[in-house]
Amino acid sequence: MKLLFIDDEQTFLKYLAKRMMLEGFEVKTTFSGEEGVAAATRDLFDVAVVDLQMPGIDGIEVQKQLKDLQPDLPCIVLTGHGSVENALESGKYNAFKFLSKPVDMDTLIATIQAAYDHRMEQQSKGDLPGTSHEPKGPVSKLFQKFRHLYGVEK
């Protein structure tokens, strides 16, 4: 399973990545919202774990952009600055779960697995818009329009 972690706390993120790799996950770490979104334009992920409060674009904006790029990517919000308002705002962008730091590693791993299982279940039912596993960024959308316009099929 391929995970995307987006958090500005580098020491915490490095520890988390090492722990997840020991559990058998493939992990991409990014230290800002901008880096995380850029990674999602280049590569496909199974689950994203996003910090809520970061310099630059925050976790809520990151979720919006990730949903545009990979509509079926479940996002787990992990933050030390949790509030009911933030959880509700994250819920608008289909945050799978809202977890507070410090997080119990077994809870995080179980939540990641549950998010992945939920995604697979939805895809098997055909309930997700992005089941094609193709990036859905602006360039990809433009490319699709040109293919359609000129009658070019895959």
Is residue 21 pLDDT above 70, yes or no?
Answer: yes
The per-residue pLDDT for 100 is: 84
How does pLDDT run across 69-99, given as a tens digit for each residue?
999 999 998 877 655 455 555 555 568 888 8
pLDDT of residue 132: 46
Q: Considering the domain boundaries, does residue 95 fall inside one? A: yes
Number of alpha carbons in the 13 Å side-chain half-sphere of residue 85: 1
Provide the domain count of the chain. 1
Domain that holds residue 112: 2-149
CA distance 114 to 97: 10
Can you give the pTM of this predicted structure? 0.76
**C-alpha span between 128 and 121 (Å, rounded):** 10
Share of the chain above pLDDT 90, in %: 55
Structure token digits, residue 125: 């039912």
44 within a domain of the structure (yes/no): yes
Sign, CA torsion 1/67/105/127: negative
Asked if pLDDT for residue 5 goes beyond 90, the answer is: yes
Q: The domain that contains 106 carries what CATH number? A: 3.40.50.2300
Q: pLDDT band at residue 40, thresholds of 50, 70 and 90?
A: very high
Domain assignment of residue 154, yes or no:
no
* Position 124 confidence tier, pLDDT thresholds 50, 70, 90: confident
Average pLDDT along the chain: 82
Band of pLDDT at residue 131, cut at 50, 70 and 90: very low
pLDDT at 150: 55
123 inside domain: yes
With respect to residue 97, please indicate whether it lies within any of the assigned structural domains: yes
CA 142/CA 66 separation, integer angstroms: 18
pLDDT tops 80 at residue 138: no
- Taking the chain, what is the end-to-end CA distance rounded to the nearest angstrom? 27
Q: Is residue 133 part of a domain?
A: yes
Judged against a pLDDT cut of 80, whether residue 136 lies above it is answered with no
